Structure 1
């Protein structure tokens, strides 16, 4: 599949006056040319194919938002190249604006004093949408995101979750092939998060929209993303699918067993370590690199009258934390 976003050796540096402590520090800074340079993005390279839904991850200060701003054309890189749908974002700004949609967390593109419907009407006019297409898309998005109850409410009176749903519609009304989502579920309740996840999954699978998602919510990643790109301090740490990431960094897995007519206090297995054991429930840990899950399951179920059993999948947040720790201590 052809790449729709190509990034090569992308670097962004910010410089500011180097203010030294002491009396009259502010005055001295007016007469010195000394600058302090911070490298927010440090020579990263990756490609994203058309129709992918990518998780773009990293801790606070990793360079995620800076990278997204270069992809959208808001910032110009210090060095390196970016092409989005064959265009250089900061050079071909007008055409790039028609190619992308963007939702930046707590920042809205809606008109504060206007009803939500009127904001959508302005976006329709800005992008020259015909009336029939506009009605069809707005109707579809209204149903998918449940906008009926508040579409005629001024934006200033909407809850955060309602406004975020409105921002998603505003970003997708003119059907851009690429959508950037920067922390779209931050601060939202469970219902609002669910609506937004459903919407993102729908436009990706049905419309083939390429989605780049930055988030700290690992549930967003596990439920939506097929592949992830992880950066830290501006450096690319990992690019690949989630299962490969887990396989690389998960060294143990837990298995929980239950029994109703047997005391599991003395449960044991040559293939697993017992973490906790009580009359009705026990948790064991094994290394999937040396022992397969079916082997542990067969051993336990063949020797004990187990009524229920579950294998706990690795926590993605723990996996990524381990990746960060390995990089910083290594």
Structure 2
């Protein structure tokens, strides 16, 4: 039977994790499955649900917001102020999994979850992430694998919220690690870094780079801007409760409170690579686009250039067209282009 400790403070949680081999548990929607199927070996668990420092939405004087890692995915989709300030994030959270999972799942858990490769999840196989020396998906069934090939592992990163947070240039606050204890005031040692730094597509052994013993404390988003237009879209094999084959999220800053031309664009995609990706070429091409009008030839050219980004595996070539179509769809939704 798994030993579970339930600390009440972040300092206590870090002490329970530091050099003990214990696993942190947030909502438990993925960790429970990983322990049950053998993706993770038997280990003690540190339950973070009672750690108050990891919860809550803290609005700062400059308009930015700090969202605790234990904040529920359902709250991201329903909190009125978050929905108004960060519509791309709210739109993404709103369609994840099922209402029951959204109520249990957390922001931090979504960002740090394990990939859904069926070879990883099957104890009959070894892969880079379970101590093996190969990726059986590359020579086996990789229908849902990467189309942007960043490294030896062929499994796409599973976090939709990571893609949404990329378009806001979010950062993460991390505590603990390397035996670091509390500072003179009794607070745990922390460090802040861009959210993108959580991921490294060239490392096939893990889905994020957060070291054992460290805890994701919060995510910080910069102050919202007026005139933002946003949309999220995913392509799936069925209409509900399905992992995306390709997903895209877009955030447009427009003049005249959203009615004028695009002055800045951010576009991110998931389901296609070992990490969520920004598409700078598409972003640049969108500047000057007008709400209510279809994207111009510059955007069409940038979408065509996505072919050069892609290096599909034998069974993932279909994702090249799907990527272009999904990105175009989400751009048109954000711009408010009337349906044909």
TM-score, normalised on structure 2? 0.22
Highest CA radius of gyration, 1 or 2?
1
The structure in which a higher percent of residues are helix is 1
The structure in which a higher percent of residues are strand is 1
